[in-house]
């Protein structure tokens, strides 16, 4: 991790700009993480107030996305960053759009929660939601942690966890589809759960993307669209 020194630029303004970008990213990460947690809570406990809160947070997340993008553009234009600085800017601007999408997915879950609060609870699926939700929450937390500490190993773990989430999502889908065939009356409510699971799965994908950006940031290699084994190999390759 010792190659990541974002202080120490000869220009203190440059330092401050990068620091500010990181801080805003972390702030956005925190907000989005809270959105995911709140959305899950709202869904699991049919808490419509909490769901509303998730939807209102969305605006703040969007503002931060625009602000961070502007900051990145400014650094690119004024400082012509190179090497790790350049990778940081690229990684941040990609991570920001992933985070924003995670926020959107959370909003979708919150919307489902509101729907379910109106229509009544789904007869099945809450176990899967809790399980996958926990997984995804951990992934997101780890991905943001890896970003904060420039920890490529943790980023690999995130990616590995995504594969698990995908497996669990698929088995949950199979179970819920089977249930719907057995009890067609619950279809509309179960579908809400399915949409939520789908959103959680997408959040997992986005968390994985953030992890991949961390690896690009730290190691300088692009690990998108390759297997976990290869990714691990890339991360272990040097130093």
Give the binding site for another protein (CB under 8 A): 1-11, 14, 26, 30, 33-34, 37-38, 40-41, 79-87, 137, 141, 145, 148-149, 219-221, 238
Closer CB to another protein, residue 40 or residue 186? 40
Closer CB to another protein, residue 8 or residue 118? 8
HEC per residue, the chain: CCCCCCCCCCCHHHHHHHHHHHHHHHHHHHHHHHHHHHHHHHHHHCCHHHHHHHHHHHHHHHHHHHHHHHHHHHHHHHHCCCHHHHHHHHHHHHHHHHHHHHHHHHHHHHHHHHHHHHHCCCCCCHHHHHHHHHHHHHHHHHHHHHHHHCCHHHHHHHHHHHHHHHHHHHHHHHHHHHHHHHCHHHHHHHHHHHHHHHHHHHHHHHHHHHHHHHHHHHHCCCCCCCCHHHHHHHHHHCC
State in angstroms the smallest separation of the CB of 134 from another protein. 9
Closer CB to another protein, residue 146 or residue 172? 146
Closer CB to another protein, residue 82 or residue 181? 82
State in angstroms the smallest separation of the CB of 24 from another protein. 14
State in angstroms the smallest separation of the CB of 31 from another protein. 10
Closer CB to another protein, residue 25 or residue 180? 25
- Tell me how far apart the alpha carbons of residues 51 and 43 are, in angstroms, rounded to a whole number: 8
Closer CB to another protein, residue 186 or residue 199? 199
State in angstroms the smallest separation of the CB of 38 from another protein. 7
State in angstroms the smallest separation of the CB of 86 from another protein. 6
State in angstroms the smallest separation of the CB of 88 from another protein. 10
């Amino acid at each position: 991790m010792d190659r990541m020194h974002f202080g120490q630029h000869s220009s203190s303004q440059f330092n401050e700009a990068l620091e500010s970008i990181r801080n805003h990213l972390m702030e956005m990460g925190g907000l989005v993480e809270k959105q995911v947690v709140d959305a899950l809570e709202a869904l699991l406990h049919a808490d419509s107030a909490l769901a509303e809160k998730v939807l209102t947070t969305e605006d703040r997340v969007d503002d931060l996305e625009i602000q961070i993008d502007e900051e990145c553009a400014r650094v690119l234009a004024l400082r012509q960053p190179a090497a790790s600085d350049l990778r940081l800017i690229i990684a941040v601007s990609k991570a920001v759009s992933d985070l924003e999408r995670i926020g959107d997915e959370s909003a979708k879950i919150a919307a489902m929660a509101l729907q379910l609060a109106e229509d009544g609870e789904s007869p099945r699926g809450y176990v899967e939601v809790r399980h996958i939700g926990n997984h995804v929450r951990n992934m997101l937390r780890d991905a943001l942690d890896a970003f904060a500490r420039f920890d490529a190993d943790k980023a690999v773990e995130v990616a590995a966890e995504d594969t698990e989430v995908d497996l669990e999502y698929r088995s949950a889908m199979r179970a819920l589809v089977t249930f719907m065939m057995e009890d067609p009356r619950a279809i509309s409510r179960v579908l809400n759960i399915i949409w939520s699971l789908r959103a959680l799965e997408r959040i997992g994908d986005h968390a994985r993307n953030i992890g991949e950006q961390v690896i690009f940031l730290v190691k300088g290699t692009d690990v998108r669209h390759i297997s976990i084994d290869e990714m691990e190999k890339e991360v272990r390759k040097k130093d």
